[in-house]
Amino acid sequence: MNWLAHLRLSPPEPLLRLGNLAGDFVAGVDLATLPAELQRGIALHRAIDRFVDAHPVVVAAKARLVPPYRRFAGVLLDVWFDHFLARDWAKHGDGRPLPQFLADVHQDLRTHQALLPAPLQRVAPRFCADGWLEGYASVDGIARVLGLMARRMSRPTPLALGGELLRADYAAVERDFAALWPELVAFTAASAPH
């Protein structure tokens, strides 16, 4: 799961939720220097990633992708699954409209910026200003995000074609998400710190 799912699956405490987001931004960061709530959120992020990566639905979905895309299957599926979460937020969200949920996340990022790992501090202003997560609800938004990700890589990658791949396999990925999401919600509810 990508950023939107990590944020949605978190308990609503701001630092815990931001820690769940920060899990992708802690390479090289001494976690002991971070506040305890951020550390707990990072631990939740890692537990979610382990659950998703080992889930049979995800393993089978990754196997459907052919080289050269298979190497990036985890990233592609994470972003694609966030598309279905955003698209069907009224069903899978926290009871608030997606823009309101994201406005609260953006406010938490601004309020707690000094406590965040440096890599997330650098990304957070663009994350908020460019509306990255709002765009997940459309396939064009997913294509834009994957294009941005591809440009940030040091070597050429096929990630920029991820929107076309999603369109080609849309129904199958939608079924994958529908099978995975309820199990992931149950797993997170049982393992999330409270």
160-193, pLDDT tens digit by residue? 888 888 888 999 999 999 999 999 999 999 886 6
Note whether 126 and 153 are within 8 A (CB). no
85 half-sphere exposure, CB direction, 13 A CA radius: 28
Alpha helices in 23-136 (DSSP H): 36-54, 56-64, 73-87, 89-92, 98-111, 118-129
pLDDT of 92 reads 96
pLDDT of 180 reads 97
Backbone φ and ψ of 74, nearest 5°: -60, -45
pLDDT of 194 reads 60
pLDDT of 84 reads 96
Return d(Cα 94, Cα 80) in angstroms, integer: 20
H or E element: which one contains 7?
Answer: helix 3-9
Q: Which residues of 43-55 are buried (b: 16+ CB within 10 A; e: fewer)?
A: bbbebbbebbeeb
pLDDT of 69 reads 84
pLDDT of 88 reads 97
Return d(Cα 120, Cα 127) in angstroms, integer: 9
Residues whose CB falls within 8 Å of the CB of residue 119, separated by 6 or more in sequence, listed in order: 25, 26, 27, 29
pLDDT of 99 reads 93
pLDDT of 166 reads 84
pLDDT of 192 reads 66
Residue ranges, the chain, pLDDT below 50 = none
pLDDT of 63 reads 92
Return d(Cα 6, Cα 18) in angstroms, integer: 9
pLDDT of 1 reads 66
Q: Is the pTM of this model over 0.85?
A: yes
